[in-house]
């Protein structure tokens, strides 16, 4: 599987110029990112683009100026073939304010054509008889680590390498069955998806629904501190305290340092910040008192 790894501005500029000069009217696109699995928050870690000429793996962590990528992705005259695009569309906007236009989501096309198992692996096998080994372990790798292993680069390239063939196989069937109007409408809708801002994120923890009002106040304060610690250390929040454990602590908040240290639920990172958790509890105590809740 042939591809070029793009790790500097000069090479990226050449790729963007090539796309326009070669009059490519469609490209295949996929992204690899990080979403609170190995680091805090959302990060764009790799951009895969297959053109009518070559396949490129663009490293956004090594290149500061992605304005060329933004230009391509926001150019509606260039169709972007993607498979299961929704998360990637959200990620592009969240991390780089890129508003992707000209989407052709092949997973939505496969769904219209009656495919039951909607994985890319199954779509490739069903429609074009190509078997591409996919690995959940590779998918959940830390894509922000450098250098990326050869096996990961090949995995990433495979996500775009056959999308031209897949679309060409699907398109006549989509047109013959009158599905294109519906597909175009769906693609336009996906182009506008964004990560929703959650007003009370601590209430998204499942066990929060079983807490009384008093415990919910403690949960809010501990949740906010956990977010702060995780962001400060660039680690996912579960590396501080897991959700279920956070709800359990909120229900019966320890009253002093010795009681905090007795908790089996604390990670070493959380144990190093017990002083902050005690201050957080004091703030929650004051709020509980002011609200007159028990």
Confidence of residue 293 (pLDDT cuts 50, 70, 90): confident
Query: What's the chain's average pLDDT?
Result: 96
Name the strand (E) or helix (H) holding 58. Answer: strand 55-58
Segment 258-283 shows an average pLDDT of 94
Q: Collapsing DSSP states into helix, strand and coil, what is residue 179?
A: coil
CA distances from 197 to 42, 98, 291 (A): 14, 18, 26
Q: Please say if the pLDDT value at position 294 is more than 80.
A: no
pLDDT digits 0-9 by tens, 217-253: 999 999 999 999 999 999 999 999 999 999 999 999 9
Confidence of residue 77 (pLDDT cuts 50, 70, 90): very high
pLDDT digits 0-9 by tens, 132-175: 987 788 889 999 999 999 999 999 999 999 999 999 999 999 99
Domain 201-291 has CATH 1.10.150.80: yes
Residue 201 is predicted with a pLDDT of 96
pTM metric for this prediction: 0.93
Residue 64 is predicted with a pLDDT of 94
Residue 15 is predicted with a pLDDT of 97
Residue 292 is predicted with a pLDDT of 86
The topology under which CATH files domain 4-191 is Nucleotidyltransferase; domain 5 (3.30.420)
Segment 2-15 shows an average pLDDT of 98
Segment 178-207 shows an average pLDDT of 96
Segment 15-34 shows an average pLDDT of 96
Confidence of residue 72 (pLDDT cuts 50, 70, 90): very high
Residue 245 is predicted with a pLDDT of 96
Tell me the domain boundaries of the chain. Answer: 4-191, 201-291
Segment 40-50 shows an average pLDDT of 98
- Cβ 254 vs Cβ 236: under 8 Å: no
Residue 170 is predicted with a pLDDT of 98
CA distances from 110 to 83, 113, 179 (A): 10, 5, 11
Q: Please say if the pLDDT value at position 1 is more than 90.
A: no
Segment 36-59 shows an average pLDDT of 97
- Residue 103 to residue 77: CA distance in whole angstroms: 10
- DSSP secondary structure of 86-134: HHHHHHHHHHH-----SEEEHHHHHHHTT-SS--HHHHHHHHH------
């Amino acid at each position: 599987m042939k591809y070029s790894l793009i790790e500097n501005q000069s090479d990226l500029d050449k790729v963007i110029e090539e796309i326009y000069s070669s009059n490519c009217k469609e490209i295949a696109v996929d992204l690899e990112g990080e979403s609170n699995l190995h680091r805090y928050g959302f990060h764009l870690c790799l951009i895969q683009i297959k053109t009518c000429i070559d396949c490129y793996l663009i490293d956004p962590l090594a290149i500061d100026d992605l304005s060329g990528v933004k230009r391509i992705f926001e150019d509606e005259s260039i169709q972007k073939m993607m498979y299961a695009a929704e998360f990637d569309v959200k990620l592009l906007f969240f991390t780089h304010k890129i508003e992707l236009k000209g989407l052709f989501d092949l997973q939505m096309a496969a769904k219209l054509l009656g495919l039951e198992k909607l994985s890319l692996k199954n779509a490739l096998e069903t429609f074009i008889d190509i078997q591409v080994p996919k690995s959940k372990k590779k998918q959940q790798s830390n894509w922000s680590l450098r250098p990326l292993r050869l096996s990961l680069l090949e995995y990433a390239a495979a996500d775009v390498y056959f999308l031209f063939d897949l679309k060409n196989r699907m398109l006549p069937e989509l047109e013959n069955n009158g599905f294109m109007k519906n597909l175009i409408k769906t693609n336009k809708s996906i182009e506008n998806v964004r990560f929703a801002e959650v007003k009370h994120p601590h209430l998204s923890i499942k066990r929060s629904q079983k807490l009384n009002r008093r415990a919910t106040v403690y949960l809010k304060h501990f949740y906010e501190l956990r977010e702060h610690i995780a962001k400060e250390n660039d680690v996912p929040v579960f590396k501080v305290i897991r959700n279920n454990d956070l709800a359990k602590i909120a229900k019966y908040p320890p009253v002093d340092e010795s009681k905090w240290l007795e908790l089996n639920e604390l990670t070493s990172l959380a144990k190093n910040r017990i002083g902050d958790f005690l201050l957080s509890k004091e703030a929650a105590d004051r709020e509980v008192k002011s609200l007159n809740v028990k």
